[in-house]
Amino acid sequence: MYPDIILRLPEWLAGELQSPAQRFSTLEERMAFVIRLAERNIQEGTGGPFGAAVFTQETGELIAPGVNIVVASHCSLAHAEAVAIMLAQQICGTFDLSADFLPPLELVTSAQPCIQCYGNIWWSGLQRLIVGASKADVEALTGFQEGPVPENWVETLEHRPPLPPIRVIQNVLREEACAVLRAYAENGGLVYNPDVM
């Protein structure tokens, strides 16, 4: 009676991947990859200037990439972080990315999570969060809003008993991440907050 909800990565994404279990040793390599996804997403016109991916924390194996596909997929939930999380969970076969049979997993995102992605991360089972551009960068450079993320958002993620902590590392390749945001705005990219449509 109702259709399935289907979210699909853009076709160009396959071209960014070199092997099924590609490894990225350093945090900078992981961040450069997701910034590259954000950049391609702009160039290809497939969504907003945001990229993210789930990696194994220790070895940097790519589990699932994500880009913002809100407009194309008719889904306000489909931020880059959410797409990467949902895809990782589907691939791992569990709603809990901290399940015993999995190694510690982390989310690398080109920009600080908005209020929605903050909530997505909260219940995801991810154990670490790596951030490029800040909330202030996103809002100042693009006009995209981030919503009512708590001032002490890092502290809330890192200390949340009885839930396990989610460690946060910020400002990884921040300038490079900001450059993509700036390019999007300068090229007149759509800012699709629900007030502007």
Provide the binding-site residues for a copy of itself, judged by CB under 8 A.
1-9, 13-14, 17, 20, 64-65, 70-71, 73-78, 82-83, 85-87, 89-100, 114-120, 122-125, 145, 147-148, 150, 156, 160, 162-164, 192-195, 197
Of 122 and 140, which CB lies nearer to a copy of itself in the complex structure? Answer: 122
Of 26 and 74, which CB lies nearer to a copy of itself in the complex structure? Answer: 74
Of 47 and 173, which CB lies nearer to a copy of itself in the complex structure? Answer: 47
Least spacing, CB of residue 72 vs a copy of itself, in Å: 9
Least spacing, CB of residue 159 vs a copy of itself, in Å: 11
DSSP type of residue 52: E
Helix (H) or strand (E) holding 57: none
Q: Do residues 87 and 49 touch, judged by C-beta distance below 8 A?
A: no
Q: Which amino acid is at 119?
A: G
Q: How far apart are CA 160 and CA 156, in angstroms?
A: 6
Least spacing, CB of residue 112 vs a copy of itself, in Å: 13
Q: Do residues 51 and 110 touch, judged by C-beta distance below 8 A?
A: yes
- Cβ within 8 Å of residue 54, ≥6 positions away: 62, 63, 64, 66, 84, 85, 87, 88, 97, 105, 106, 107, 108, 126
Of 172 and 189, which CB lies nearer to a copy of itself in the complex structure? Answer: 189
Least spacing, CB of residue 179 vs a copy of itself, in Å: 25
